[in-house]
Structure 1
Amino acid sequence: MLLKINDVEIAAYPAPGEFKVMVLDLDDADSTTRTANGTLNRDRVAVKRQIEMSFAPLEWDKISAVLTAMKDEFFDFYYPDPMAGAYVTKRMYVGNRPAGIPFEKGGVLWWEGLQITLTER
């Protein structure tokens, strides 16, 4: 699987252990309503993507490189999209990026279970 951030391949890092692409429908909050009988009147304004990734333990320099690649407010993310049936580039932003307890192995600090959620702008 090929993944790029701002046209830079992140395959040099370990690939994510988990990679989920969600297709999100965004509805207008004011005009999307349910009638008294439960019928939905829907005003879909956009279809966006959200991607969840998690990684096995990463060495300190590798986790730093992954997080630094996503440091900007928005960035281009290239990935395989199941709905498009092809690789696509979407403008994304990143949410919280928790990383578990670090541990030392062979004199190198490793970080456990980095999780990343990307959402299309």
Structure 2
Amino acid sequence: MSGSLAINGKSVKTPKEFSVGLQDIDADSSGRNASGQMVRDVIAKKVKLEMKWGSLSDAEIASLLRDVDGKFFSVTYPDPKVGGQATKTFYAGDRTSPSYSWNDKYKSMKWEGLSMNFVEQ
């Protein structure tokens, strides 16, 4: 990934997968009219970031999850529409972290990864 990722100004570990979704939010009045033509009233344009990290230690995953624990937080990320870094306010969507191993032999890496998405406020 070109660029860097920071949450509330703090650099975080680079995810192994990163994608930026651009979403149009339509008003309830949007839809097809009696002639079958689409009528849209776009009331907002929002960004959704989807990220996946590889194996993480307890300390690494705890730090990432604490960083997004607030209601809203700022994220600086590579934005394809801007053509560089952008900073916007997001909230965290679903967060999933599958276990790597319960075996004491693998104490340093207990988590197979972390996936989560951020939705622009």
Q: What does residue 30 of structure 2 align with?
A: 32
Is the CA contact (8 Å cut-off) linking 2:55 and 2:109 kept in structure 1?
Answer: no
Aligned equivalents of 2:26, 2:107: Cα separation in 1? 51
Provide the TM-score with structure 1 as the length reference. Answer: 0.90
Give the deviation of 1:57 after TM superposition. Answer: 1.1
Taking the TM superposition and a 5 Å limit, the aligned residue runs for 1:1-121 are: 1-10=3-12, 13=13, 15-29=14-28, 31-103=29-101, 104=103, 105-121=105-121
| Equivalent position SS for 1:65 | helix
| Equivalent position SS for 1:58 | coil
Compare 105-114 and 55-64 and name the one that shifted more.
105-114
Size of the alignment, in residue pairs?
117
Compare 48-57 and 32-41 and name the one that shifted more.
32-41
Structure 1 letter corresponding to 2:46: K
Aligned equivalents of 1:112, 1:97: Cα separation in 2? 13
* RMSD (Å), alpha carbons: 1.3
Give the deviation of 1:109 after TM superposition. Answer: 4.3
Give the deviation of 1:8 after TM superposition. Answer: 1.1
Compare 62-71 and 33-42 and name the one that shifted more.
33-42
Structure 1, residues 26-56: CA drift from partner, whole Å, max 9, x if none? 1102x11202332111000111100000011
Unaligned 5+ segments in structure 1 are: none
Unaligned 5+ segments in structure 2 are: none
4+ residue runs of structure 1 moved beyond 4 angstroms? none
Aligned equivalents of 1:87, 1:68: Cα separation in 2? 23
Identity of aligned residues (%): 34
